[in-house]
Amino acid sequence: MTEGELKIGVLARRAPIGHTADLTATLEHVGGLTRVLPALAEFANIDWTALTTQSQVGLPRYYSFSEISNQVHQHDINIFLAEVDSQELDLSDWFCAHYIWPLLHGLPIPELADAELSHRLNTVRSTSQALAAESIDVDNHGYLVNDFQLSQVPVALRELEPSKQISFFLHTPWPKSIPSSNISTKILEFLASGMLAADVIQFQTQKDLRAFEEFVITHLPLELEDVKLEVNPVSVNVQQLNLQSLNTEDLLNLREDEISYVHIARSDPIKNTLASINAFTGLARDFKDSAPRSYLDLYIVPSRQQWPMYQVLLSEIVKTVEQCNSKLSSLNYAPIRLHIGNDYQRASKALTRYDCLIACSVADGLNLVVKEGAILNDRNGAIVSTKNVGAIAELGNFCIVAAEATEIGIIESLREAQNLSSETRRNMSAELKRHIQEFDSSYWAQNAVANFKVLEKV
């Protein structure tokens, strides 16, 4: 790093580090903001610290992003894996998966005794403190923290480095209506008070910013005075996607006249996969066996499979596909095809080919699949989504937005997409590409680092 260059410590729940059978480090495809964080290296040197996952325990704790990815950025990205107390991390992850995650996405949460709630919150706090301690660097200009699981990191950093700039990016939604239960309020107060130790908090949408601000004004009014709230929508690397699409092999087994519906998601209740499958099945009842075949390709990445409720959901997806294909047996082919695993290349190819992309989450902070699909698709495919998907705050005018994230609401939107004229589809696709190209990951990264002391792009 030369004098005057910006250096930022980035803290995230995980890093995109995978390993082959012989333990060679590889770039692992991951979702959410983790996929976009490398864009920061256009403007700053990045020291990226993440919590070690179970599969990474005992493996090297330092990686050069350029060496494992073969991607070149203007500045360096150094990745450090921090090991914390495994028992506390497991307890923290369980609580985040079963309470904080559903609460932020408007899903119900079970009751929990006050003493147990306090214990669980303390595990979140403890892991955040340990991660913050591993990340301290006297030579950097400040810290960018991402992920609701690290809501307490700004507090810990403030105690360790009181003069450094701290930004927090919340890529998950903030609930638009607050449940009346005491436990929900306590959890949200815990999250908000930790985040408010930052100098700047950035959100994906204006609605999320307003919901957070209203909550803080009501519950923590004195803590908002010295914090700047901003909207900075996360996007995708358009140039890299376009290069990637040229190098992807044909893996889809579709004829030119066949109709492709695609749904790509983690096996998570917020992704609404079961409703999407049932909606397509309702639509497919009207298909004629003599017409060009239509397929729904599901690309499901197993998520949080250490927890029984997520194991059950994945099993339900498999069972629902079998049942729905059975209901559609008169078509003389199985129209729903399930692909389980983290096959990013195959899923990317599906995005180039879809006639309709289904992204109908109950609630979703980002859903970058929408933006990736809009850039990669070369058939003027329509996107069917819901109003509570983060990307739709920007792109809703160029997509079909379901009135409700229900089976009926999705069916109605799929029929609307079916009836679009060729000209309308072409115009919608062009507008999607234009907007995303203008506000790509570089635009997001520049806004993310603009709050620090130096902004220099080489």
For residue range 422-441, list pLDDT tens digits in order. Answer: 999 999 999 999 999 999 99
Question: What whole-number percentage of the chain has pLDDT above 70?
Answer: 96
> For residue 127, what are the contacts with CB-CB under 8 A and spacing of at least 6?
51, 84, 85, 88, 89, 92, 149
**454 within a domain of the structure (yes/no):** no
At residue 187, the pLDDT reads 97
Pair 335, 361: CB distance under 8 Å: no
Band of residue 310 on the pLDDT scale cut at 50, 70, 90: very high
At residue 3, the pLDDT reads 47
Band of residue 324 on the pLDDT scale cut at 50, 70, 90: very high
Instruction: Say how far residue 438 (Cα) sits from the centre of its chain.
Output: 21
DSSP 364: B
On whether both 226 and 242 belong to a single domain, the answer is: no
Q: What's the CATH code of the domain at 147?
A: 3.40.50.2000
pTM for this prediction: 0.94
Pair 309, 98: CB distance under 8 Å: yes
On whether both 205 and 316 belong to a single domain, the answer is: no
SS3 state at 341: coil
Task: Find the domain containing 86 and state its range.
Answer: 7-235+441-449
At residue 248, the pLDDT reads 43
CB atoms within 10 A of CB 1: 12
On whether both 122 and 142 belong to a single domain, the answer is: yes
Count the domains in the chain.
2
On whether both 340 and 395 belong to a single domain, the answer is: yes
First to last CA, the chain: 12
Instruction: Summarize the confidence of residues 180-195 as an average pLDDT.
Output: 95
The answer, yes or no, to whether residue 4 has pLDDT greater than 70, is no
On whether both 185 and 304 belong to a single domain, the answer is: no
**2 within a domain of the structure (yes/no):** no
On whether both 266 and 414 belong to a single domain, the answer is: yes
On whether both 70 and 118 belong to a single domain, the answer is: yes
Instruction: Summarize the confidence of residues 304-329 as an average pLDDT.
Output: 97
The model's pLDDT over 381-409, given as tens digits with 9 standing for 90+, comes to 999 999 999 999 999 999 999 999 999 99
At residue 275, the pLDDT reads 98
On whether both 54 and 156 belong to a single domain, the answer is: yes
**457 within a domain of the structure (yes/no):** no
Nearest to 79 by CA among 34, 42, 43: 34
On whether both 211 and 307 belong to a single domain, the answer is: no
Pick the range with the lowest mean pLDDT from 70-74, 125-129, 234-238, 433-437. Answer: 70-74
At residue 453, the pLDDT reads 61
At residue 245, the pLDDT reads 59
The model's pLDDT over 117-169, given as tens digits with 9 standing for 90+, comes to 999 999 999 999 999 999 999 899 999 999 899 999 999 999 999 999 999 99
The answer, yes or no, to whether residue 331 has pLDDT greater than 50, is yes
On whether both 74 and 89 belong to a single domain, the answer is: yes
At residue 246, the pLDDT reads 54
**445 within a domain of the structure (yes/no):** yes
333/326 Cα distance (integer angstroms): 10
Pair 373, 260: CB distance under 8 Å: no
On whether both 53 and 94 belong to a single domain, the answer is: yes
- CA dihedral angle for residue 372, residue 374, residue 378, residue 383, rounded to 10 degrees: 120
383/37 Cα distance (integer angstroms): 25
425/65 Cα distance (integer angstroms): 39
Q: Which two tokens stand for residue 422?
A: 């060729």
**342 within a domain of the structure (yes/no):** yes
**110 within a domain of the structure (yes/no):** yes
At residue 172, the pLDDT reads 95
The model's pLDDT over 207-227, given as tens digits with 9 standing for 90+, comes to 999 999 999 999 998 777 889
On whether both 254 and 346 belong to a single domain, the answer is: yes
Amino acid at 395: L
At residue 5, the pLDDT reads 84
At residue 130, the pLDDT reads 96
Q: Which two tokens stand for residue 85?
A: 């107390």
SS3 state at 340: strand
Give me the chain's average pLDDT, please: 92
**125 within a domain of the structure (yes/no):** yes
